[in-house]
Amino acid sequence: MRSEVNLKKDIIEVGKMLHAKGYIAATDGNISVRVSPNRILTTATGVSKGFMREEHIVVVDADGNLLSGSYQPSSELKMHLIAYKLRPEIKAIVHGHPPTCTAFTIAGISLAKCVLPEVVMTLGVIPTADYATPSTGEVPESIRDFIAKYDAVLLDRHGAITVSSKNVFDAYYKLEKIEHTAEVTLKARQLGQVKTLTDEQVTKLADVSGIGREKLCEGSCVNCGSCGQGTSPILEKTAVASSQEGAATVTCDEAVVGKAAVQSGGALGSLEARVKAEVITEIKRIMNS
């Protein structure tokens, strides 16, 4: 077991990496390490996590009460505390605002799809928790069901949270992994389409890694077709419509629209589904004009 002094140094190192990678801006983000069931090291509010000193890391109990330190912990500590309460094996948590995966949530495009094998084998799919007002009790409630099961969760319009049962570096690597997934997915979308893995490929990955299909194809997945249910393994189709000179390319996630329609009894209840339905209608209008 590393000493608290060394664990604080680890947190400072992870803060520097978050800042260097552009995963946090200004005083965003927070990091914590659980030393024992009722003793958690966490970053102070109001300081850049890229330039922390040891005094910027405070000690709190499992309910967030300050045990030592002259700074206040972040108001987002609530998110960490619920994860620690739900999962006794978690040792460290990182929260940041990586721009590309955050942009996916703002665009209403889910990353809960079986696309990259190494991500499927380690994290499963990457679910998105519903929007919650930052710093309020809404945030821990919004992640409760996901963080109980997943090590990496996107927060709608608010970055991501990752947890580790090993150490704070491992939690950070998971954040790096989901931002990389978002960047690769963005490039694939720009090239034209995102091919999801097939049912057979996902079954093999689940067998090899032991990750369990429930982390891939139930609850938070968007029925991308990898589980063999309904839709084609190729999820996202691209429609190209001419506009004056050149072409405008718009990508439609028709499977998401279809699933939302089913879930809401055909009423297209989610904002994501409504926006995508409008995009599809607009493409059809352009192509017919």
- Which residues are identified as catalytic? 76
Displacement of CA 199 from its chain's centroid (Å): 23
Count the neighbouring beta carbons within 10 Å of the beta carbon of residue 87: 15
Question: What type of residue sits at position 129?
Answer: A
* 16 neighbors 9 (Cβ within 8 angstroms): no
Closest listed residue to residue 127, CA positions, set 149, 97, 95, 98? 149
Strand partners, 247: 242
Cα–Cα dist 49/36, whole Å: 23
Question: What type of residue sits at position 267?
Answer: A
Residue showing tokens 């589980």: 227
Cα–Cα dist 224/243, whole Å: 30
Query: End-to-end alpha-carbon separation of the chain, Å?
Result: 68
* 160 neighbors 151 (Cβ within 8 angstroms): no
Cα–Cα dist 135/219, whole Å: 26
* 144 neighbors 138 (Cβ within 8 angstroms): no
Cα–Cα dist 126/147, whole Å: 11
Give the H/E segment covering residue 113: none
Residue showing tokens 């109990």: 61
